[in-house]
Every structure is written in structure tokens, then in C-alpha cells.
Amino acid sequence: MSFDTVIHGGTIVTADGQFRGDIGITDGRISAVAEVLDGGVERVDAGGRLVMPGGIEAHAHIAQESSSGVMTADDYLSGSVSAAFGGNSSFIPFAAQQRGQSVDDVLATYDARGARSVIDYSYHLIISDPTEAVLHDQLPRAFARGITSFKVFMTYDLMNLGDGGMLDILEVARHHGAITMVHAENNDMVKWMNRRLADKGLTAPKYHAISRPQLAEEEAINRAIQLAKLVDAPLFIVHVSTAGGAEIVRREKFNGAKLFAETCPQYLALTRDDLDRPGMEGAKYICSPPLRGHDTQEALWHHIAMGTFESVSSDHAPYRADATGKFLNGPDVAYPKIANGMPGIATRLPYLFSEGVVKGRITPEQFVALSSTNAAKTFGCTTKGRIAPGMDADIAIWNPDVARTVTHADQHDNMDYTPFDGMEITGVPEVVMNRGRTIVAHGVLKASEGQGRFFGRAPVDLRGKPGFTAPEFDTAQNFGSVLR
């Protein structure tokens, strides 16, 4: 067999185990995995380092307007470059529908934006306006081109669909084999807290954390799960930030729900104290759900180690700390007027490796599952997330021993800060490949604009998740099939 590239002399780590071996790559795909492989036009010496599937970043806001119209600082070029430096070979950002917009228009817009990416990409579709035409005409067209996940919001007035709107989406998604992702926070609890704080003149960034109580997330996670169970639809809870929310996920998964979830490094590395930095510095740490306390960090690590979460994702939502981003509404505004979100696409995996693997909280195999393999299964990336013959040669070679301090320059993004600045971390992705092409090598970008490809995805993999049959929602017995 002839190979374009052979990666040799490394320890191959998969979600199931690790072994010394070589990888042969032909036409962008893995064509052989064996103890020893000769040949190869190019031979890459892994030098005993860890050879793992390239990361799949499944939660990132790239070239996306927020619901209130603030554009992210990163587009598909800078966002994908930053992702690549962070050990990712592909990503699935959001394509966001604004109210009144057709899904076809949304996808045409994001196709033009995505064309700049240096790594492979797909989209989750954010639905804010589930009209009949969207539900029964436009979404099926999106599925047909492999967009098999969409996200809904239970918060933000311009995005919140209400329980009925969510049920409509969940039912259509289930019918097509798609998965619904949800940002779960109780909108009315948050608005009520906002009014109380405003009445007392409490507007500093630190009150953002007070305004979005842990109970608001726990209530909404529980409600989202019950809504999904009513129609037996798969559900993915994004950015879980509370111990109580994680515990609900764990319990419902144990009971067989078609349920998936993620948490994010910011909830592990930072706390609400960061919102109380001097002046308006705290604005850099405003994200939703908000940062919590040290006790939450410990609980979330426990859930990561015990398997409650499929993935640790970045929720990269890059708004610069200037008038283009965080302070679009003015430099000194009350916290509800400051853009929500923080960057982290380049730090997600180095942080997870350092605090997870190096500190002994998770195994290297769990790192692979949490960074790549599980996202591929959940979101139907059938050619990605595994090192096996036939898969795309999306590979990252990690040096587990290099220690460094996180700096903003390391992020290679379009931002003006990183919330992880100054953290000491160990482990670096030295070589990152996408479909057999080296995109980053030893801190140098090797990829060029537009070389990433859009990939369509398969339905969610529901093996091992029996789901739940609500007797009242038996379409045959009770009200006939309502699905078109």
C-alpha cells in the first residue's frame, strides 16, 4: 500500500485505549493503522508523543450576530485559525436565524461566511422563528443537506420560543432524526431578578451572576428534558453550569432518556469573583449562564470524570472589550446591556488536557472522548472523531510535557483579551492535521484561507438510549399521526 503520509513512532490514543503504532494516510483519509508502517511520501515522526483524533469543537459562535445584533469578533478565518492552534481539526459553529428570516437565507449567508475556514466545518441551526413554513418546508431541506442539529433558547426575549414552540421543534427534529440543542435558563426568573436589581440600582457586572440564579438553569434543564420526553425526542443541553443541572442530566440519562450534555472550561476555571474585577474589567467575564463558585467547579469535574457529559466545549462567543463588542451600548452601561459571551476556542483543549489529564482527573482516553469522539457520534460526523481506517485523517499530535503560560497572543483570534490569561498549563498540540494536511506545526500556521470544507452530518446516534414513551403521546392510539 502506498501512503501520502505516515505518522510513526507515537502512542495512538483513542476513546477506548492506547497503543504504540503508525498511521498511514492516503488521499486525506486514514488508510492503515499498524504496529509499523514503512513508506510514505512524507514521514512525520511523532517521537513518542500522543497521537489523537483532532478536536471537534461543537459549540462556537463564529461570524454570528447575537440576538441583539452584535457581531462576533471572529469570522470563519480567524475563528478556524484559533481553533486549529487549539488542537481542533473541525468545528460546528451556529448558523442563526433572525426572526422573519427563512432558513434558506440563513444557510446561504453562512455558506458565504464559512467559505473562509481553514478547517472543516458544519453548522447547528439556531431557530428563533418556527413558522409553519420553517417547520415543515425549510427544516426538511436543511436536514437533506446534512444539518442534523439545531439550537433553541429558553431565555433572551428575542430568542425564547416558549414551551409550545420548543415542543414543535422537538417533534419535527425527532421525525427527521435530528437533535435539538437547548440553552436552558428560565427567562422569567432572570427578568424578575433583573427588575429587582435595577430597582435597587445594582448594575455593575458582578450582578450579572446574581441575576441568573442557579435555580433558573436547574428549572429550565428539568423542563427541557420533560418536554423532550413528552415527544420522545433527543435533546442536548449546552453549557451546563450548575451542579444541580448536571445532577438532573445524570439521573435522566441513567433512566434512559435520549439525552446529551456538555459543560465548558470557563465554568471549571473561573468563578463569579472574576465578574467583580475593578472598573468594567468584570464585563470580560459576562457570559450566560454565568460563572459560579468553587464548589460548582469541583462538582462539574466530578460529573466530567463520571461520564455525565459527552463533551467539554468552548462556547467561544468572542466580543471584544470595546465599542464593537461588549460595550456596543456604551462604556459604562448596566450589565444587561453588555454583550454576553467570552472567547476560548484555542484554550478549550489545552485547558482540558492540563487540568484533566495532567492533573489526573480524567484519563487520556476520556480526553479523546470529551474532545472529539463523542461529538462526532452525537452530531453525526461519521468520518471524524476516530483513528481508524476509512476515517478522515483529522489528527493532533500532543506533547504532554510542555508547560506554558496562557497569553492572548497564543489564541490567534481577533479578540483583545483572553479570560484564561496567565494560567499555567501543561500539554500542547504540536501538529494538527485536517484531512491529512498539516494545518498547524510547532506554533506555525500551515493552512490557507478557504481550505476547510463544509461537511453534512448523519442523524444522532441513539444506540444505548431507549428513550421514554409518554402514554398520552401515542400518536396511533390517541390522536393519529400528526407528523407530515
Decide whether 88 or 438 has the Cβ nearer to ligand URP.
88
Partner interacting with residue 212 (select from ligand URP, Zn ion, none; CB below 5-8 Å by kind): none
Residue with nearest beta carbon to Zn ion? 183
Minimum distance from residue 313 beta carbon to Zn ion (Å): 8
H-type helices in 200-339, by residue range? 207-211, 214-230, 243-254, 265-269, 294-306
Minimum distance from residue 341 beta carbon to ligand URP (Å): 3
Decide whether 315 or 430 has the Cβ nearer to Zn ion.
315
Decide whether 219 or 315 has the Cβ nearer to Zn ion.
315
Q: Are 432 and 93 spatial neighbours (Cβ–Cβ below 8 Å)?
A: no
**Among residues 50, 14, 118, which one has the least CA distance to residue 428?**
50
What does the binding site for ligand URP look like in residue numbers (CB under 6 A)?
Answer: 61, 183, 287-288, 315, 317, 340-341
Cα–Cα distance measured from residue 252 to residue 406, given in angstroms and rounded to the nearest whole number = 37
Decide whether 219 or 315 has the Cβ nearer to ligand URP.
315
Stretch that binds Zn ion, among 164-172, 191-199, 273-281, 307-315 (CB under 5 A): 307-315
Minimum distance from residue 291 beta carbon to ligand URP (Å): 10
Partner interacting with residue 348 (select from ligand URP, Zn ion, none; CB below 5-8 Å by kind): none
Minimum distance from residue 212 beta carbon to Zn ion (Å): 11
**Among residues 239, 242, 293, which one has the least CA distance to residue 265?**
239
Cα–Cα distance measured from residue 114 to residue 111, given in angstroms and rounded to the nearest whole number = 5
Decide whether 315 or 410 has the Cβ nearer to ligand URP.
315
**Among residues 17, 9, 7, which one has the least CA distance to residue 364?**
17
At 253, list the grid cell. Answer: 440519562
348 binds Zn ion (CB under 5 A): no
Minimum distance from residue 346 beta carbon to ligand URP (Å): 17
Decide whether 4 or 57 has the Cβ nearer to Zn ion.
57
Decide whether 190 or 433 has the Cβ nearer to Zn ion.
190
Partner interacting with residue 174 (select from Zn ion, ligand URP, none; CB below 5-8 Å by kind): none
Minimum distance from residue 380 beta carbon to ligand URP (Å): 21
φ, ψ (nearest 5 deg) of residue 223:
-65, -45
Beta partners for residue 224, in sequence order: none
Minimum distance from residue 289 beta carbon to Zn ion (Å): 8
Partner interacting with residue 287 (select from Zn ion, ligand URP, none; CB below 5-8 Å by kind): ligand URP
Among 49, 183, 229, 320, binds Zn ion (CB under 5 A): 183
Q: How many residues bind Zn ion (CB under 5 A)?
A: 2
Distance of CA 458 to the CA centre of its chain: 18
Partner interacting with residue 340 (select from Zn ion, ligand URP, none; CB below 5-8 Å by kind): ligand URP
Decide whether 80 or 340 has the Cβ nearer to ligand URP.
340
Write the DSSP assignment of 400-441 as a string of letters.
EEEEEE--SGGG-SS-S--TTTT-EEEEEEEEEEETTEEEEE
Is the bond leading into 459 cis (omega within 30 degrees of zero)? no
Partner interacting with residue 37 (select from Zn ion, ligand URP, none; CB below 5-8 Å by kind): none
236 three-class SS: strand
315 binds Zn ion (CB under 5 A): yes
Question: Could you identify the residue written with the cell 442530566?
Answer: 249
Q: What count of other Cβ atoms lies within 10 Å of the Cβ of residue 37?
A: 20
Minimum distance from residue 183 beta carbon to ligand URP (Å): 5
Minimum distance from residue 286 beta carbon to ligand URP (Å): 7
Cα–Cα distance measured from residue 186 to residue 199, given in angstroms and rounded to the nearest whole number = 20
Write the DSSP assignment of 326-379 as a string of letters.
TTTT-TT--GGGSPP-B--TTTHHHHIIIIIIITTSS-HHHHHIIIIIHHHHHT
Q: How far is CA 149 from CA 59, 235, 260, 441, in A?
A: 12, 10, 12, 32
SS3 content of the chain, % helix, strand, coil (to 5): 35, 20, 45
Decide whether 315 or 355 has the Cβ nearer to Zn ion.
315
Minimum distance from residue 48 beta carbon to Zn ion (Å): 37
Q: What count of other Cβ atoms lies within 10 Å of the Cβ of residue 254?
A: 10
212 binds Zn ion (CB under 5 A): no
Decide whether 59 or 258 has the Cβ nearer to Zn ion.
59
Decide whether 94 or 367 has the Cβ nearer to Zn ion.
94
H-type helices in 76-117, by residue range? 76-85, 103-114
For β-strands 437-441 and 88-96, DSSP reports them as unpaired
Minimum distance from residue 317 beta carbon to ligand URP (Å): 4
Q: Are 72 and 63 spatial neighbours (Cβ–Cβ below 8 Å)?
A: yes
Cα–Cα distance measured from residue 434 to residue 451, given in angstroms and rounded to the nearest whole number = 9
- Residue ranges in contact with Zn ion by CB under 5 A: 183, 315
